[in-house]
């Protein structure tokens, strides 16, 4: 289970740690990404997977809330644009599904564990294991500055007409600059892509745009990483 981090646009949250290697600094600033192997232990990854299996098995989603998640622009507008279930999920744990996992009556036609596209967006707040990872000293240190081989998880575009390929490792992390163009294609393999993704932004002298769909709430303000 790799971690996928989206870092602040100005890159300042990486500077302190990354000064130790000018090569790494140059790569991050020029290419907008870093691959960090071994951030989490295999045991930590297994614990996260086990807990996610429990959450998935226990989920009870009403039919009218069985929202398909899509990164396609037109499908986003169609499926999610007016869906309160998605828009109000910033301070909750909710389930979003792949295409073709329900029959005409809204019943599952695939195993629950294979039906999900994502679970969002407040695991870091309400699930102790995920909260511990998100706010762990290992992550905090990195901000002061194998997957299945052949299983495509993400495309990162260095130049708009080219993309790069790299292999991740179990417990590794991919740091992605906030301005990097990237995408994930549909998973058509028989292997699941287990990734825990969280976003980090610099809070000092930064204003969170009111136009962003995900907004902090009174119940769950954006937490400081150092908590």
**pLDDT greater than 90 at residue 31:** no
| pLDDT tens-place string over residues 73-103 | 556 555 554 468 888 899 999 999 988 899 8
- Name the pLDDT band for 124 (thresholds 50, 70, 90): very high
3-state helix, strand, coil in the chain (%, to 5): 30, 20, 50
| Separation CA 97–CA 67 (nearest Å) | 6
pLDDT given for residue 153 in this prediction: 53
The strand order across the sheet containing 93-97 reads 67-68, 93-97, 116-121
**pLDDT greater than 90 at residue 121:** yes
DSSP E strands: which ranges in 122-202? 155-159, 162-164, 173-177, 182-183, 196-199
| Separation CA 125–CA 92 (nearest Å) | 9
Whole-structure pTM value = 0.75
| pLDDT tens-place string over residues 207-223 | 899 998 899 999 999 99
The whole-number average pLDDT for the span 97-113 is 89
Task: Pick the more confident residue, 45 or 28.
Answer: 45
Peptide linkage before 121 cis (omega within 30 of 0)? yes
- Tokens for 158? 């260095």
The whole-number average pLDDT for the span 64-76 is 66
């Amino acid at each position: 289970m790799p971690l996928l981090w989206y870092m602040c646009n100005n890159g300042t949250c990486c500077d302190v740690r990354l000064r130790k290697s000018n090569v790494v600094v140059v790569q991050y600033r020029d290419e907008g990404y870093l691959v960090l192997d071994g951030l989490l232990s295999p045991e930590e990854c297994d614990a996260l997977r086990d807990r996610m299996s429990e959450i998935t098995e226990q989920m009870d989603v009403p039919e009218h809330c069985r929202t398909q998640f899509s990164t396609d622009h037109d499908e986003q507008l169609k499926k999610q644009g007016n869906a309160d279930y998605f828009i109000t999920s910033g301070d909750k744990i909710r389930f979003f599904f792949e295409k073709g996992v329900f029959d005409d009556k809204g019943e599952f036609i695939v195993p629950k564990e294979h039906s999900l596209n994502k679970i969002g967006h407040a695991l870091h707040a309400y699930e102790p294991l995920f909260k511990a990872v998100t706010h762990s000293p290992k992550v905090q240190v990195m901000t002061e500055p194998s997957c299945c081989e052949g299983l495509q998880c993400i495309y990162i575009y260095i130049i708009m007409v080219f993309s790069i390929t790299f292999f991740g490792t179990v417990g590794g992390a991919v740091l992605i600059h906030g301005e990097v163009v990237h995408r994930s294609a549909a998973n058509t393999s028989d292997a699941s892509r287990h990734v825990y993704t969280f976003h980090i932004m610099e809070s000092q002298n930064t204003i969170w745009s009111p136009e962003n769909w995900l907004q902090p709430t009174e119940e769950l303000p954006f937490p400081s990483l150092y908590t």
